[in-house]
Structure 1
Amino acid sequence: MVRTTSATKRNLTNRVLPSAYACSQLAAELADEWVEYVEAAGLTAGTVQSYQQAISSLCASVDLQLGQAASGASLGRDQPDLARAVATWERTLPSGFPAGSMRPAILSGAIRVLVRRRAEHPERTVAARVTALAKAGSGVPAGEYEELDEFSWEEKQAMVRTAWTAVVALEKRLAAGWERAGRGQHPQQGSWTGIDDLLWGLAHGEITPARISEVLPPPRFWPEQLRKCIRRPDGTMPHTARTVLTRWLVAQLWPTTMDLHAFRVLLVDATGHPPEEVSQLTEEGVEFTPGGVRLTLVRKRAKRRYYRAFKDVSLELADVIETKTFKDQPRREPGAIARRLMQVTERTRELAHEPDRKLFVRAVVDVDRELKFCEWNPEAPLVRFSTWLKAHGVTVEGKTDIRRLRKSTKVERVVTSGGHISEAANDHHEQTFKSHYAQGTTLRVISGEVINSAQEHWLKQAVEGPTVVTQSAVSEDSTQLQEIGLSKQEAADLIQGELDMGVTHCKNPYDSPYSPTGELCAVAPLRCLECRNAWVLPSQLPQLLLFSDHLERMRNRLSPPRFTAIWGQSYTNLQAVITDRSDEGIRLARKHIDDGGIALDLPLSAHVEFDG
């Protein structure tokens, strides 16, 4: 038997009963090593349970494999062959867990640790085959750790709204409960079936839940107002009516385990810090300042205490919020949440006598019907976070793990800060943030959108070519040119030929995508057919044909990859422009060229291309 203390300071007892197995000697040997190892290594409660589960699983498998011979199984004997039995257990172990689970490897490793410890002890014998098996590598798959994904925005909003609604309902319920207790008296002078008197007795410590259960008559003799308190939705009464009633009465005066889930949801959402840290806040760890609140948080893994300050709204606005329209609406202010939490748990903390003075303290009626005021345990079997969500009608996809809410808050900060990880990773290293949060669905989608936007931008820059103007648009009336994107002055200059750059016209050579704004384009006319500022008029068809002949010569001179890299886009756009011209127009343009009246003016560099 091993006694341990969990993270929530609950005393846990783990047992291994050798007499429960046919291989009782093997179970006793492993249990002895387990007890000594726990004491020597100071194992945590979860690890202790893993070792206990491994021993139980192995012994049950040995019983099944060896049958009647199991009674002779021992780590120190060669027969029966325990090494074969352990190997068979390890081979079948993953079948009892979901695919990819890490649990089989943990259990297999636990048994190997215990066997190696026993083999290293000078006075304890371990068979050679068993020792060799324990020292060899385990064949059990290590499994994969699946990172939790964040809640969706809709799920997160639903949880926050529900939490605020629950907090407001709790405050109203406790206020009404203490008001009713103030109207009551001791049940001996009043009535043991009167709600006000029962609340008075509990509030003043004059009676206990156990006493109420003893004195109350059978439920069928209760007055209707008492029966109505615990009646089920279908109209029936619970079988443990007395216990249910005492817990209902306690809940009218002090917060219960279920009530405190709402405050944890709000604090995780407002601060972005781990749920296990915000639920361990103490009275000394909350310091209200004129502009907000300063929290003292404790990082359990690193054993580190750190401080975070949070700003609330101004005092004037806070007064308005508290007294007018926004009192019952969600507010993401840690100071307001902490203040309401302290008000709700004030009486509970006075009765709990917790040395650390933690804020998350609840009232509970245990199985012995004793009223206790103790530290909050969010992992109690019947009141977990999943139970709270179900009770309030909140449905989520995937695991109902509160840690996903923190991831949602972290991702939200990255989005609102424009992708600055340093602002979201304010309580750990940026590398930790990248490994635990950057793989979330939201950030992957946002990253994909950013990449797609960048690709679309550069693709548009690459393929966006000149504007081809028809003969009908080039007239003395520049209305059509203005309708397709030119100003009145630009249209007039285009018609008069003042924007001619050789191969094409240019809307604005001082606003080139290839040169700094305000400077004359440095690549005209070689890149005009790839530029959004270029305008192609019908009169420039001869120049386009000459430029096409020039590119054909470059195409024959350069290797295909080289030509495509340098001239590919210009060549494609140019062929598209020429294809739109009529055969008669091209014939006339060729005639003008053959007559010798038109020449292609290109810079000298255009004639000295070499295949590098």
Structure 2
Amino acid sequence: MPRVRKSGRKRSERERFLAALANPVPAGGVGPRVVAGKGYLYAVDPAEYRCSQLAAQLADEWVEYVAATGLTTHGKVYVTGIDRFCRYVDKRLGSAAASASLVAAGLFDTLMGWELTLPEDYVEGSCRPRLLAGAVRLLIIRRDDHSERPVDGNLARLARGPAFIDWGETTERDEFKRQEKRALVRAAWRSAHDTRRRLQEGWQLAEQGQHPEIGSWTSVPDLLWGLAHDEITPDDIRVNVPPIWQWRPELCDFAAGDARFVPSLARLQLCRALFRQLYPFTRELHAFRVLLMDATGYASEEVTGFGESEVEFLPKGVRLTLLKNRAGLLRHRAFRDRTASAAGVTDQTDEQLTVNWPRREASEVVRQLLDVTARARAKAPHVTDTLFVSGAIRNSFDPFFGAWAPDARGGSFGEWLDVMGVQVKGDRNIGRMRKSVKVEKAIVTEGRVGAAADDHTEETFAGHYAQGTTLRILSGRTIATAQQHWFDKALARVDGPTDVRPAGTTELDQNQLMDSGLSAEQAEAIMSGQLDMGVSHCENPYKSPFSPPGELCAVAPLRCLECRNAWILPSNLPQLLIFQDHLKRLRTRLAPPVFSRLWGQSWVNLQAALGDRTPEEIAQARKHIDAGDAVLDLPLTANTEFDA
């Protein structure tokens, strides 16, 4: 029977809370609010507080929130928050606490005062005060989100506003060093290959045997044959194997393996050694977890939480369905082989599919894992939510097949490190592997948080992963970006037009424009004259740096020679010459400082564009102008500028 885990509860109250759980109190009713789960029973009884109306309102939101989100043991935080807040209200308001509620005015100062006093009861740097304050605020906000549940306006704004206390200090684990991570991956590949080779040799050896009743109960091939074909059980081996003193030395060595031979446990050792020749065991599956975390960059629970139905092999990669238990987030991710695609490409066939940069071949790791665990999974058809299935022999000689327990005695990650001879400093926790991959991603993306935090929010990334090497990379990126910004500003860099000239004697064609960076649609529109703005063509007139986004450029053609969207083609030469004549007239009318300020950059870019033209091209363009075949329509304002 679950026990009451709320502090201060008397054991005699358990039955009362269980009765309330069987007959839940409706919202606004009288009686304790109870939430139960596997191994816990949480309760809030508004009758324990003078501010019973306030406690009932918060408790009702808590019960509904737990039911909607499926909170487990984390629900205790809300119980503690309600209890601490209501006791503070009772103490501060005294007899007036009976009228306190989320509807009535007057709780603004009380909630603020309670939050500010929370850190006094905890050690310096504790995250608990912020957690409790956030829990109460969330319940208030949740009530305010429902129009039929009134909340005082000032109190609602306070709950939605910034917190008064910080999160405190966290003890986040640092990532593995690069040398440690490299050693981990190498050891994992070595372990995976050894496992595959051992299982392959074991099944080949089993095919050479026969039934032990026909052959021998001390023959390893015969015993393997019997277990592989389900003709005998480990208990049959216990009963029929002759006494230990009749065993050959080879059989003793086989039973002991890398451990010490213990005569009193010899039969159990033999059965377990035989089983390990046929099925993977818990400890060696750590290798595949390490490889999958390295290949995908996702958490341990995600790479071990997908079954065969969540695997889809692509022509050059694999698509996995990953479940994040803590966030309850289900994601479909495709991991391309390194030669299959470039980084950051999105599969256009699925809008919710993200293609990730492969640091290892995830598809190869999944294939090997499927192969290694195939026979074990066939023995455990009830396990469908993971590929990590192992086989073992219990002390009672009963065979067991099921989802692996990575923290089991004798099969933990730390013991795998010891067996593989991998030395790491600090906490031997697999979670550090994910942080190591995050560091690599931060290095590859040059510290861009948006790219490094591609599988969760930037706030989560900053809180859990932006420490150590990652923080130094992000800081360096920020400093380098700021330096480049001010350096560019100091040089007054101006983006100008792109001048496209035909190669050799060939005519300019659409392919050359596409090779220069334009799309096929833009190149076709430019070649047909649809994007002709006067002195140049524009790749997108609705994306002008001189006008609001989405509006047609309002300064063409006067500022085209200062625009990064402008493309100058050979056909624009007559208009460029006419615009040059216009600027020459302005130079005679405006003072040099004024002309330099208004038209200096256009003049410099224009001279650069015309400087590459041959005398023959200039002469031919002048003929078109004299014949009236080329004109340049300038706005009226272009002829009314003068030095004021």
* TM-score (norm. length: structure 1): 0.51
Contact 1:270 1:333 in 2 (8 A): yes
For 2:247 and 2:4, the matched residues in 1 are separated by 44
Q: 2:423 aligns with which of 357, 378, 395?
A: 395
Separation in structure 2 between the aligned mates of residue 353 and residue 282 of structure 1, nearest angstrom? 11
Note closer, same or farther for the CA distance 1:213–1:441 as it changes in structure 2 (3 Å cut).
same
Select the residue among 389, 412, 415 that pairs with 1:384. 412
Whole-angstrom CA distance in 1 between matches of 2:307 and 2:260: 42
1:494-545: CA deviations, max 9, x gaps? xxxxxxxxxxxxxxxxxx9965589xxxxxxxxxxxxxxxxxxxxxxxxxxx
Check 1:29–1:219 CA distance in 2 against 1; reply closer, same or farther (3 A cut). farther
Distance 1:265 1:236, change over 3 A: same
Contact map agreement 1:348 1:362 (CA 8 A) in 2: yes
Amino acid at match of 2:283: M
Is 1:41 equivalent to 2:35 in the alignment?
yes
Native 8 Å contact 2:280 2:373 kept in 1: yes
TM superposition shift of 1:30: 7.2
Deviation at 1:301, TM superposition (A): 2.4
1:363 maps to a residue whose letter is G
Shift of the 268–191 alpha-carbon distance from structure 1 to 2, 3 Å rule, reads same
Bigger CA drift: 349-358 or 364-373? 349-358
Which residue does 1:429 correspond to in 2? 457
Post-superposition offset of 1:302: 2.9
Q: Could you list the per-position Cα deviations for residues 393-417 of structure 1 after superposition, in whole angstroms to 9, with x for gaps in the alignment?
A: 1111111111110011011011011
SS at match of 1:345: helix
Q: Which runs of 5+ in 1 are unaligned?
A: 3-13, 17-25, 52-75, 77-102, 117-135, 316-329, 462-511, 519-612
d(CA) in 1 for partners of 2:293, 2:12: 46
Partner AA of 1:158 in structure 2: A
SS of the equivalent of 1:240 reads helix
The residue aligned with 2:629 is none
2:190 pairs, out of 145, 160, 165, with 165
Q: Residue 392 of structure 2 aligns with which residue? A: 364
The AA in structure 2 aligned to 1:300 is N
Choose between structure 1 and 2 for higher RCO, CA contacts under 8 A separated by at least 6 residues: 1
Aligned partner of 1:181 among 198, 206, 212? 206
| Aligned partners of 1:292 and 1:312 also within 8 Å | yes
What's the counterpart of residue 256 of structure 1?
A: 281
Please tell me the residue identity of whatever aligns with 2:204. Answer: E
The residue type paired with residue 415 of structure 1 is I
Q: Which residue of 2 aligns with 1:582?
A: none
User: Could you tell me how far apart the structure 2 residues matched to 1:224 and 1:259 are?
Assistant: 27
Give the CA deviation at 1:31.
6.6
Aligned counterparts of 2:214 and 2:329: Cα–Cα separation in 1:
55
Q: CA deviation at 1:378?
A: 1.1
Tell which structure's C-alpha radius of gyration is larger: 1
1:82-93 superposed matches below 5 A: none
Q: Is the 8 A contact 2:217 2:242 kept in 1?
A: no
Question: Residues of 1 paired with 2:481 and 2:293: CA distance?
Answer: 34
Cross-structure match for 1:593: none
Contact 2:383–2:402, Cα closer than 8 Å, also in 1 = no
**Conserved 8 A contact 1:349-1:357:** no
1:5-44 matches, within 5 Å, as 28-29=11-12, 41-43=35-37
Residue among 440, 464, 473 paired with 1:446: 473
Instruction: Tell me which of 353, 373, 377 is aligned to 2:401.
Output: 373
1:404 partner SS? helix
1:341 partner amino acid: L
Separation in structure 1 between the aligned mates of residue 410 and residue 81 of structure 2, nearest angstrom: 32
Query: CA RMSD, aligned part only?
Result: 4.2
Question: Could you tell me how far 1:245 is from its partner in structure 2?
Answer: 1.9
For residues 130-529 of structure 1, the aligned pairs below 5 Å read 139=121, 141=123, 145-231=170-256, 236-237=261-262, 239-314=264-339, 332-354=360-382, 356=384, 358-438=386-466, 440-447=467-474, 516=492
Please tell me whether the aligned partners of residues 231 and 238 of structure 1 are also in contact (alpha carbons under 8 angstroms). Answer: no
By how many angstroms is 1:221 displaced?
A: 2.9
| TM-superposed deviation, 1:446 | 3.0
Comparing 216-225 and 395-404, the one that deviates more: 216-225
C-alpha separation between the residues in 2 aligned to 1:186 and 1:250?
A: 16
Instruction: Rate the CA distance shift 1:181–1:295 in 2: closer, same or farther, 3 A.
Output: same
Q: Deviations over 1:349-372 (max 9, x none)?
A: 111112525311111212322112
* Amino acid corresponding to residue 297 of structure 1 in structure 2: L
Partner Cα distance (1:216, 1:182) in 2: 20
* Partners of 2:176 and 2:316 in 1: CA distance: 30
Cα pair distance change 1:374/1:34, threshold 3 Å:
farther
Query: Equivalent residue for 1:568?
Result: none
SS class of match (1:372): strand
**Given the two structures, how large is their TM-score scaled by the length of structure 2?**
0.49
How many residue pairs align between the two structures? 359
SS at structure 1 position matched to 2:439 = helix
Alpha-carbon distance in structure 1 between the residues aligned to 2:190 and 2:20: 48
The change in CA–CA distance for 1:280 and 1:454 in structure 2 (over 3 A counts) is: closer
Asked whether the 8 Å contact 2:252–2:261 carries over to 1, the reply is: no
Q: Is the 8 A contact 1:232 1:238 kept in 2?
A: no
Change (3 A) 1:437 1:354: same
Shift of the 220–272 alpha-carbon distance from structure 1 to 2, 3 Å rule, reads same
2-structure distance, mates of 1:359, 1:233: 27
Aligned-pair identity (%): 37
Report the CA distance shift for 1:348/1:232 in structure 2 as closer, same or farther (over 3 A). closer
Distance in 1 of aligned mates of 2:361 and 2:246? 49
Matching residue's letter, 2:227 = L
SS at match of 2:184: helix
SS in 1 for 2:308: coil
CA positional deviation for 1:422? 2.4
C-alpha displacement at 1:428, in angstroms?
A: 1.2
Q: Which residue of 2 aligns with 1:319?
A: none
- Distance change >3 Å, CA 446–CA 517, structure 1 → 2: closer
Partners of 1:230 and 1:237 within 8 A in 2: no
Residues in 2 aligned to 1:38 and 1:251: alpha-carbon distance in whole angstroms:
48
Q: CA 1:229–1:29 in structure 2 vs 1: closer, same or farther (change >3 Å)? A: farther
Distance 1:15 1:162, change over 3 A: farther
- In the TM superposition, residue 156 of structure 1 has moved relative to its aligned partner by 0.7
Shift of 1:163: 0.3
Q: Would the aligned equivalents of 1:361 and 1:374 in 2 still touch at CA under 8 Å?
A: yes
